[in-house]
Amino acid sequence: MPTKSHIEWTEMTWNPVTGCSKVSAGCKHCYAETMAKRLKAMGVYRYRNGFKVTLQPDLLDAPLKWKQPRIVFVNSMSDLFHEDIPIDYVKKVFDTMVQCPQHTFQILTKRSKRLREVAEELPWSPNIWMGVSIEDNRVLYRIDDLQAVPAVVRFLSCEPLIGPLDNLPLEDIHWVIVGGESGPGARPMKPEWVKSIFRQCRNMNIPFFFKQWGGIRKDLSGRKLFGRTYDDMPQILSMHLPASEFQFANA
């Protein structure tokens, strides 16, 4: 089922796939893994396999039933470009998004190499935003892969930020989110790391969204930077645009 989200930069989550596996240091304290195990213990059928990749085909057409425009985070409990998800299934997810121009879909992956490999097979309508997770300098290659993808909006999620990112290649990037890790065992995020990314975004006129400082109690550390919150987002251009009028980025 679609779920109203507590993630600050979206409104709803849609999970036509659940489950994932760790690929880099940013996955160490995966919130989705913890949640999946908890839901399995509670007897929730969709999480009967725990955090193993599981297709949920009965949810593929869920967005078609939503009348009011929504900002939707796709696969908050998985990674759409996981190697265990067949490309034909990925195409079905994209087909649904194309049929719903009233909604804005946000996809985030750590598997940028597969994203780049299959991007030309997918329809990139303007309401599909594509992002990659960048937790430290070891995964900067993900930005290069993202820049090769014909999405109208490309974004970075620097969360959990666990190291400095002083020289981000921000050409053709349209949005940057920054956030610290939260929950038990959270690794600290240094203020100078955040300020460096903020300055880089300002120099490039890129919308900057500061999600949280994080920590064991993220509600105590808050979201303020320089004494205020930063909730900038790209302009949503696709609202109410008929599918027949889409100008596909890879056409």
DSSP state of 187: P
pLDDT tens for residues 213-239? Answer: 998 888 889 999 999 999 999 986 544
In a domain, residue 251? The reply is no
Cα–Cα distance for residue pair 68/65, rounded to 1 Å? 9
Instruction: Note the pLDDT tens digit of each residue in 68-126.
Output: 999 999 999 999 999 999 999 999 999 999 999 999 999 999 999 999 999 999 999 99
CB burial class (10 A; 0-12, 13-18, 19+) of residue 128?
buried
Place of tokens 């121009």: 101
What is the model's pTM? 0.92
Structure tokens at 25: 């240091």
Question: Would you say residue 250 lies in a domain?
Answer: no
Identity of residue 203 = N
Starting from the edge strand earliest in sequence, which strands make up the sheet with 104-109, in order?
3-4, 12-14, 71-74, 104-109, 128-133, 153-158, 175-179, 208-212
246, pLDDT greater than 60 = no
Question: Is 225 among the domain residues?
Answer: yes
Average pLDDT of every residue of the chain: 92
Instruction: Output the pLDDT for position 236.
Output: 66
Q: Which of 32, 239, 229 is CA-nearest to residue 125?
A: 239
**Pairing between strand 3-4 and 12-14?**
antiparallel
Q: Exposed, middle or buried by CB within 10 Å (0-12, 13-18, 19+), for 173?
A: buried
The total of structural domains in the chain comes to 1
Residue 237's pLDDT is: 54
In a domain, 13, yes or no: yes
Can you give the residue range of the structural domain that contains 207?
Answer: 3-22+29-245
Within a domain: residue 63?
yes
Distance from C-alpha of 163 to C-alpha of 160, rounded to nearest angstrom = 9
Give residue 2's pLDDT: 58
Compute the distance between CA of residue 143 and CA of residue 170 in angstroms, rounded to an integer: 8
Average the pLDDT over 173-186 and give the result: 95
In a domain, 171, yes or no: yes
Residue 247 has pLDDT above 50, yes or no: no
